[in-house]
Amino acid sequence: MSRDLVQKGVKRLEWAKKHMKVLEKVRNELTKKKSLKGQRIGMALHVEAKTGMLALTLREAGADVRLASCNPLSTDDSVSTALNEHFGLPTFARKGETKKEYYSNLNSVLDHEPDILIDDGCDLISLVHTKRKKLLDVVKGANEETTTGIIRLRAMEQAGALKFPVMSVNDAKMKYLFDNRYGTGQSTLDGVISSTNLLVAGKKVVVAGYGWCGRGIAMRMSGMGGNVTVTEVDPIPAIEAKLDGFAVEPMMDAIRDADFVITATGCKDVVSERHLKVAKDGCVLANSGHFDNEVSKVALKKLSKKKRNVRDFVEEYSLKNGRKVYLLGEGRLINLVAGQGHPVEIMDMSFSIQALCTRYLLVNHKKLENKVYDVPKSIDEKVAKIRLKSWRVKIDNLSQEQKEYLSGWSEGT
């Protein structure tokens, strides 16, 4: 069984490797120079094939790597086992961790006294700042992968609580423009249709949040023939959603006749008690945000008289009002719980940013303050150029004359 699992994991890692051409270039460069030699790196990411390739890349570049999961339900056990048993890279992750196991695993990563942290959602960084404060002397800096983590980190910075520099990998253009939008779009769709086998075409699909993730989901659900309604708290993206041809409604109106509700906000209680009370019978609820509090499970529990599993990753809640609603993947990121995470080529870009930011932190950490830093433009551009080259896509170059024109101002009508 374990052997089968290892073999499956190895295959998945190989498949990922084959399609991560940008990371391959980056790996070759880092490895040649042994750029991360002697560094200990503690990672808390979704443990699946693409992440595995990042971990192996960092190790090839000279680092000593440990990997835990950043979510109790997103681990691909085959990959976790293969990394451990086949590649000898210590992982601390299993699909379906209890909260206790989850934190125990994070602590196992921290026990290694890492120089650099790579986090997704800020639980690992937060742990260092609360229960593992001694490590503040050891950690040189961290990378943060996702919007939710960045929201938390900016709050920490604001409060003067942040004790080492953090690279906002999430805010690199080559990350959020692609990972959050096209990645989340495709993988969320995959998770929803795989777990339900339901038709999207003609259905009312409510997407909560029209940030980069939300618009990726809306775009793909619409591309499948869904009739998309967007909910927002910010008027400007609300107007964008409307002009993109979608309906815009408050959740209280939207959910009344929603076939699917998918949250991607980074906020909690987006679907709360009052919304659930008026949800349409048969409504399917899913979340693509980082934490499992966007759809309130507290409210679901309170409102329902019965809960049962009706398919893999589908819980049926029989509400006291006689209706039934369906929560996918326990309200955790549906694209990882019921799918295989973002498409390989997307993570190829995101994780190339991760690898280059790791090197950047090591080289520059002494100069950096305890702040959240934007990824340097040069890293974004480096990754973009490798990406285009790997696809053999050519673009135009500005001539000298054009450059001068753009930096001049006297030439007019």
State which of positions 334-363 bind a copy of itself (CB under 8 A). Answer: 339-341, 343-346
Contact call for residues 119 and 44 (beta carbons, < 8 A):
yes
Query: Minimum Å distance from CB 97 to a copy of itself?
Result: 10
Q: Could you say which residues in the range 309-338 bind a copy of itself, by CB under 8 A?
A: 309-311, 314
Stretch of 80-88, 131-139, 216-224, 358-366 contacting a copy of itself, by CB under 8 A: 216-224
Q: Which of 64, 115, 123, 315 binds a copy of itself (CB under 8 A)?
A: 123
Give the list of residues 6+ apart from residue 36 with CB closer than 8 angstroms, or none: 30, 58, 61, 62, 63, 358, 359, 362
Give the list of residues 6+ apart from residue 339 with CB closer than 8 angstroms, or none: 187, 188, 190, 191, 194
Distance between CA 410 and CA 390 in Å, rounded? 40
Q: Which of 92, 164, 176, 182 binds a copy of itself (CB under 8 A)?
A: 182
* Tokens found for residue 375: 């990824």
* Tokens found for residue 357: 């930011």
Nearer to a copy of itself (CB atom), residue 1 or residue 236: 236
Q: Binding to a copy of itself by residue 160, rule CB under 8 A?
A: no
Q: Could you say which residues in the range 87-116 bind a copy of itself, by CB under 8 A?
A: 99, 102-103
Distance between CA 28 and CA 267 in Å, rounded? 39
Q: Binding to a copy of itself by residue 231, rule CB under 8 A?
A: yes
Q: Which of 5, 138, 177, 278 binds a copy of itself (CB under 8 A)?
A: 177
> With helix as H, strand as E and coil as C, how does 102-171 read?
HHHHHHHHHCCCCCEEEECCCHHHHHHHHCCHHHHHCCCEEEECCHHHHHHHHHHHHCCCCCCCEEEHHH
Q: Binding to a copy of itself by residue 194, rule CB under 8 A?
A: yes
- Residue found under tokens 């819980």: 315
Nearer to a copy of itself (CB atom), residue 282 or residue 305: 282
Q: List 92's β-bridge partners, or say none.
A: 68
Query: Minimum Å distance from CB 166 to a copy of itself?
Result: 12
Q: Binding to a copy of itself by residue 250, rule CB under 8 A?
A: yes
Q: Binding to a copy of itself by residue 400, rule CB under 8 A?
A: no
Q: Binding to a copy of itself by residue 190, rule CB under 8 A?
A: yes
